[in-house]
């Protein structure tokens, strides 16, 4: 598994060469892809991999997962929460199913938006830990922008002023 906070999609040729040809990576997760509906899958997809994406806009955000075709990945759309940038897939390794998810939380969210993000994440995790999904091992990655939350907490902390 390769995970990367991208801040825009890299050149397809470089990603394909590094990940697929040289390292045989099974899952590639990217956050802050800056994709929107005007970017076709064919512009970023490469042979041997399935693409699963959740876009925001060309100004920021977005997540995607490339899964090698032999993993037989399928997107778990029933975990989508409006306003939460995440993608989940179920895949198989040696006939064992697993779940993988990638997230992105923008660093400039206010307290209400952070709470909405955390509530959405919590509801997704509750679903993932209920049958039939509870029996599968799970892996998560992404950019939660915790550093921006820590800075905001320090600025509002009375003893820290």
Q: For 77-97, what is each residue's pLDDT tens digit?
A: 888 887 788 999 999 999 999
pLDDT of residue 161: 46
Kindly report the average pLDDT of the chain as a whole number: 81
State yes or no: pLDDT of 159 exceeds 50: no
**Whole-number pLDDT of residue 9:** 60
Distance, in Å, from the CA atom of 149 to the CA atom of 126, rounded to the nearest integer, reads 24
Of 18-27, 33-42, 57-66, 72-81, minimum mean pLDDT range = 18-27
User: What percent of the chain stands above pLDDT 70?
Assistant: 75
Please tell me whether residue 53 adopts helix, strand or coil conformation: strand
Report angle CA 57, 61, 65 to the nearest 5 degrees.
105
Contact 86, 76 (CB under 8 A): no
- Predicted confidence at residue 69, as pLDDT, reads 94
Confidence (pTM):
0.82
pLDDT of 156 above 60 = no
Token duo for residue 86? 């995440």
**CB 34 within 8 Å of CB 58:** yes
SS3 label, residue 46:
coil
Classify residue 25 as exposed, middle or buried by CB count within 10 Å of its CB (0-12, 13-18, 19+). middle
Does 126 score more than 70 pLDDT?
Answer: yes
The partner residues of 103 in beta bridges, in order of sequence, read 86, 142
pLDDT at 16 over 80: no
């Amino acid at each position: 598994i390769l995970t990367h906070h991208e801040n825009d999609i890299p050149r397809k040729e470089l990603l394909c060469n590094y990940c697929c040809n040289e390292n045989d990576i099974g899952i590639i997760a990217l956050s802050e892809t800056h994709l929107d509906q005007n970017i076709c899958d064919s512009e970023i997809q490469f042979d041997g991999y399935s693409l699963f994406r959740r876009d925001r806009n060309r100004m920021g955000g977005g997540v995607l997962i490339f899964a090698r075709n032999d993993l037989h990945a399928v997107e778990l759309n029933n975990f989508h929460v409006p306003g939460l940038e995440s993608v989940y897939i179920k895949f198989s390794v040696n006939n064992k199913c697993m779940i993988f998810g990638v997230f992105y939380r923008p660093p400039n969210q206010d307290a209400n938006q952070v709470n909405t993000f955390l509530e959405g994440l919590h509801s997704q995790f509750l679903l993932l830990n209920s049958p039939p999904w509870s029996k599968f091992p799970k892996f998560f990655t992404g950019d939660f922008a915790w550093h921006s939350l820590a800075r905001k907490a320090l600025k509002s902390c009375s003893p820290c002023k």
